[in-house]
Amino acid sequence: MKYAIVGTGAIGGLYGAMLANAGEEVHFLLNSDYAIVKEEGLHVISEVFSNIHLDKVNAYQHAADMPVCDVILVCLKTTSNESVLPSLVQPLLHDGSVIILIQNGLGVEADVAAQFPGTGVAGATALISVNKVGPGQMHHLDYGDLEIGNFNIEDAGMIDRVVAAFDRTGLIAKKAEDLNTLRWRKLVWNITFNGMCVVLNTTADKLLADRATYNLSKEIMHEVILGANACGALLPEAMVYDMLQFTIAMRPYAPSMKLDYDAGRPMELRYIYENPVAMAKAAGYYMSKVDMLLQQLLFLSKY
């Protein structure tokens, strides 16, 4: 199959490079990095796998110059979906193409499916620590697991084939049984640590090293689980302890929203905070601590 990477940043660069290194045909859409990647290739420095240097890259600066592809992996921030995604993805589609959103948040698949009627859409969550450290250069710190949940792809075997391709890279990939549960499970971590790291100007490891913020993190995670359960995603309470221990064991890492805020970029508030708060409330449960965190983030986003 032909793969397109829309958004060759840290996530898209790493996953695309690993697919290409494993022998898949991958086409990369780039912006400011185009000239350097075209000349020098893509580099992945990994603390987990062998380093990768793709000398010759199928690199493009304009989507109109790319071939149509079978699988379009969207690795942009959701803040770009409404404004630029249609113009980037439409030229890449044929009748059997599917769009897989390696993005964060709740409700993103429905909105993208409405933008591309007749095209199958799936959502994916990435358990990964990776930073872009230069043009076409990614530093992979830890993990890399990918899980894909179907939204409206009619050919269910397509996701199996994509999972198999990622498995051949050495990553752990699997197909989720339920997209709603997949999205809420990731939100338990994202809602808690993205927002708190921005509001308190810190990193997740420091939050969990302090008793007060450790307890607050735990309370917010419990609240998200109750919101998830109200929305039909039956997440166990025990996952809070497991996720806290997982986070403590991680290498010190600033979440993506903290990096965006520090760089003056828009934060992904709609899908990570606004939609979950509204959907849980509509289902009968008010996530009050999450809503307070949202209001603080909305304030910070204005100044």
Q: Could you give the residue numbers annotated as active site?
A: 186
Question: Quick one: residue 190, left, alpha or beta (phi over 0 = left, psi -120 to 50 = alpha)?
Answer: alpha
DSSP one-letter code for 270: I
Cα gap 57→44, rounded to integer Å: 13
Angle among Cα 218, 224, 229 to the nearest 5 degrees reads 125
Paired sense of beta strands 98-102 and 2-6, if any? unpaired
- The answer for residues whose C-beta is within 8 angstroms of residue 267's C-beta and 6 or more apart is 79, 198, 257, 260, 261, 297, 301
In the numeric block, the tokens 């307070």 are attached to: 292
Joined tokens for residue 79: 């803040």
Joined tokens for residue 287: 């996530």
Stated length of the chain: 303
**Element holding 185 (H helix, E strand):** helix 179-199
> Smallest Cα–Cα separation from 20: which of 45, 1, 48?
1
